[in-house]
A and B are shown apart, each in its own frame.
Chain A
Amino acid sequence: MCLKGVKRMRKCALANLDKLFAAIAENADLYLPVNDENGAASYKKWEEGTEMSDALNTVKSPKDFFFPQSEDLMTFKTEGKNIEITDIREESKDFVVFGVRACDVRSFDILDRVFITDPQDSYYASKREKGVIVSMACTRPTETCFCAAFGIDAAAPKGDVTTWKTEADLYLQANTEKGEKLLAALEALTEEADCAAVEAQQAKTRAIMEKLPLAGLDTEQFGGGKTKEYFDAPEWKELSQSCLGCGTCTFVCPTCQCYDIKDFNTGRGVIRYRCWDSCMYSEFTRMAHGNNRNSQLERFRQRFMHKLVYYPENNDGIFGCVGCGRCLAKCPISMNIVKVMKTLGGKKDE
Chain B
Amino acid sequence: MQVNEKKPLIVAFCCNWCSYAGADLAGNNRLAYPADVKIIRVPCSCRVNPMFILRAFQRGADGVIICGCHPGDCHYTSGNYFTRRRMAMLFSMLDYLGIEKERTRVEWVSAAEGAKFAATMNDFAEKVAALGENKRLEDLRCKK
Contacts and interface: CB of A to CB of B under 8 A. Distances in A.
Does A touch B (CB under 8 Å) in the complex?
yes
Interface of A: 264, 266-268, 271
Interface residues of B, number: 6
Interface of B: 59-60, 139, 141-142, 144
Nearest to A264: B141
Contacts of B144: 266, 268
A295 B141 CA distance: 36
Contacts, number: 11
Nearest to B60: A267
Contacts of B59: 267
Contacts of B60: 267
11 contacts: A264-B141, A266-B139, A266-B141, A266-B142, A266-B144, A267-B59, A267-B60, A267-B142, A268-B142, A268-B144, A271-B141
Nearest to A271: B141
A264 B139 CA distance: 11
* A contact patch SS: loop
Nearest to B139: A266
A267 B60 CA distance: 10
Contacts of A264: 141
Contacts of B139: 266
Q: Which of A266, A268, A271 has the most CB of B within 10 A?
A: A266
B137 to A, nearest CB: 15
Contacts of B141: 264, 266, 271
A22 B144 CA distance: 33
A223 to B, nearest CB: 43
A268 B140 CA distance: 12
Contacts of B142: 266-268
A271 B142 CA distance: 10
Contacts of A271: 141
B69 to A, nearest CB: 31
Which 5 pairs, one residue from A and one from B, show the smallest C-beta to C-beta distance?
A266-B142, A266-B141, A267-B59, A267-B142, A271-B141
A304 to B, nearest CB: 35
Given A266-B141, A267-B59, 6 more contacts: A266-B139, A266-B142, A266-B144, A267-B60, A268-B142, A268-B144
A264 B140 CA distance: 12
A266 B142 CA distance: 5
A268 B60 CA distance: 11
A35 B142 CA distance: 32
B141 to A, nearest CB: 5
A95 B16 CA distance: 56
A350 B59 CA distance: 61
Nearest to A269: B144
B144 to A, nearest CB: 7
